Amino acid sequence: MISLLLLKQLHDLSDDQVVEGWIENPYWQLLSGEHELQWSAPVASSDLTHFLKRIVKKGAESLLKLSVDLYHPKIKVEEVVVDTTVQEKNITFPTDAKLTKKVIDTCRKIANKEDISLRQSYIRTAPDLLRQASNRKSTRQKKKAVKATRRIRTIGRAMLRDHYLYLSFKPIFARINSSIITNLLIFVSSFFA
């Protein structure tokens, strides 16, 4: 009875809605102390009103205060465990175009850091191609998206080829940071694998 009143207050429901929700929701039944799924109503909806009249408003407030006080020590602890399995995650999946754009950006950063002159930096072209490549699901834009994906891959290969040519003619270990070389090798291996 008390758990139904708490659920009613928490979800702002009527007596009938709380009883119907209790039948449908196994979590509410577990909150009420049931260990097995029940298919019938625990009480008539009018019993909630009668019980509430018996305990008066002060009794209802004291029940809510009692339930908060049960978990009060856990609230004071610095670490609070929150279950976020049902929350949406902000995840974008890596596509070929996104990975290629990342390779292009990394090659450009390495070139700027090491004063390598590039034939073209593709600062404006790469973001436009990435935007066009993201329209693959649209039936009207599919052909254009495939063409943009092909073009951005070609640009990525050209930039990697320029870096290979530069790195093969210069003593790289004296000039380039080892973390930059590691990042470039990771990108190259994932790009041509």
100 by Cβ neighbours in 10 Å (0-12 / 13-18 / 19+) ranks as buried
What is the model's pLDDT at position 173?
Answer: 47
Q: Could you tell me the two tokens for 121?
A: 């930096």
What are the pLDDT tens digits along the chain (193 aa)? 778 877 887 787 888 888 999 898 888 888 888 888 888 888 888 888 888 788 877 887 787 677 667 666 655 555 556 665 666 666 677 788 888 898 899 989 888 887 778 888 888 999 999 999 888 888 888 899 999 999 999 998 888 888 877 776 665 445 555 566 666 666 666 665 5
Q: Cα(15)–Cα(47) distance, rounded to whole angstroms?
A: 9
pLDDT of res. 48: 82
- Residue 193's pLDDT is 53
What letter would DSSP give residue 72?
Answer: H
Report which residue type is found at 40: S
Q: Which of 7, 14, 21 is nearest to 60 (CA)?
A: 7
DSSP secondary-structure letter at 79? -
